[in-house]
């Protein structure tokens, strides 16, 4: 099995790239997001998932572990093959895909070509609990199962805000869902404090006794 390739980009095509490794050209399928970061002649290193079938051996390449891990997770869902997984990763980067699943945003998931309403609902249903736990597994200060792998490595203010809500007593899935909805409403420039306040605001209708943030007005 091939797990990694390091070489020069020979060419980039629709849905794939050819990587020259010591004079041997490897055809590697990748998401549009990954292919957009490749340039002919550039020296690159790709993480590889090798799929072996009776009639072919296909290589799927990723520039980072987060995208590779999402590819593996998505393909565990019934009805999600490699093409649909790549379509999802082309449409939504890992952090946005995380937010969409935890927030139950069927519209966001359904934007990917090949994902209809029924499949979008199945993806949300099968992955929401897994992702809700994964999301805060390595956020500083957040409690979590030691067996849960790191997933939200690029969460930034969203992860920190969710961690703050977890420290206030909310469960990880509840906290991340609330902060994700607040982030969608407030926009990409929202500060950490605004996300915490927004997350609490999302939770307030459910729990009128929600704890307050220290130092807030």
Helix, strand, coil in percent for the chain, rounding step 5: 45, 20, 40
* pLDDT (average), residues 28-41: 96
Maximum distance among all Cα pairs of the chain, rounded to whole angstroms: 65
Q: Is the pTM of this model over 0.85?
A: no
Contact 93/33 with Cβ under 8 angstroms?
yes
Span of 16-20, 98-102, 113-117, 210-214 with lowest mean pLDDT = 210-214
pLDDT over 60 at 25, yes or no: yes
Domain with CATH 2.40.50.140 in the chain: 4-63
Fold of domain 66-203: DNA polymerase; domain 1 (1.10.150)
Average pLDDT over the chain, rounded to an integer: 81
* pLDDT (average), residues 52-56: 86
* pLDDT (average), residues 110-119: 95
| pLDDT level of residue 137 (50, 70, 90 thresholds) | very low
- For residues 149 and 207, the model is more confident at 207
Q: In this predicted model, what pLDDT tens digit does every residue of 183-202 receive, in sequence order? A: 888 888 888 888 888 888 88
- For residues 197 and 75, the model is more confident at 75
Alpha-helical (H) ranges within the chain are: 32-35, 65-74, 82-91, 94-103, 106-109, 117-135, 157-167, 172-186, 192-203
φ, ψ of residue 57 in degrees (nearest 5)? -125, 115
CA atoms within 13 A on the CB side of 43: 1
State the CATH class of domain 4-63.
mainly beta
Domain with CATH 1.10.150.20 in the chain: 66-203
Contact 35/12 with Cβ under 8 angstroms?
yes
- For residues 99 and 30, the model is more confident at 30
């Amino acid at each position: 099995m091939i797990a990694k390739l390091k070489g020069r980009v020979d060419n980039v095509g629709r849905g794939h790239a050819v990587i020259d490794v010591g004079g041997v050209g490897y055809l590697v399928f990748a998401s549009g997001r990954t292919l957009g970061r490749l340039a002919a002649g550039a020296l690159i290193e790709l993480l590889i998932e090798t799929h072996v079938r009776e009639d072919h051996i296909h290589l799927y390449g990723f520039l980072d572990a987060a995208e590779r891990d999402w590819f593996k997770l998505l393909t565990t869902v019934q009805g999600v093959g490699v093409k649909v997984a790549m379509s999802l990763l082309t449409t939504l980067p890992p952090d946005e895909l995380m937010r969409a699943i935890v927030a139950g945003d069927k519209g966001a998931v359904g934007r990917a070509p090949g994902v209809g309403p029924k499949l979008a609902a199945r993806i949300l249903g099968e992955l929401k609990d897994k992702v809700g736990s994964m999301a805060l597994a390595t956020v500083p200060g957040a409690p979590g199962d030691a067996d849960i792998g790191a997933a939200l490595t690029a969460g930034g203010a969203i992860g920190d805000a969710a961690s703050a809500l977890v420290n206030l007593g909310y469960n990880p899935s509840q906290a991340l869902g609330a902060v994700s909805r607040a982030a969608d409403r407030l926009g990409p420039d929202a500060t950490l404090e605004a996300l915490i306040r927004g997350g609490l605001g999302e939770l307030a209708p459910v729990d009128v006794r929600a704890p307050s943030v220290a130092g807030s007005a």
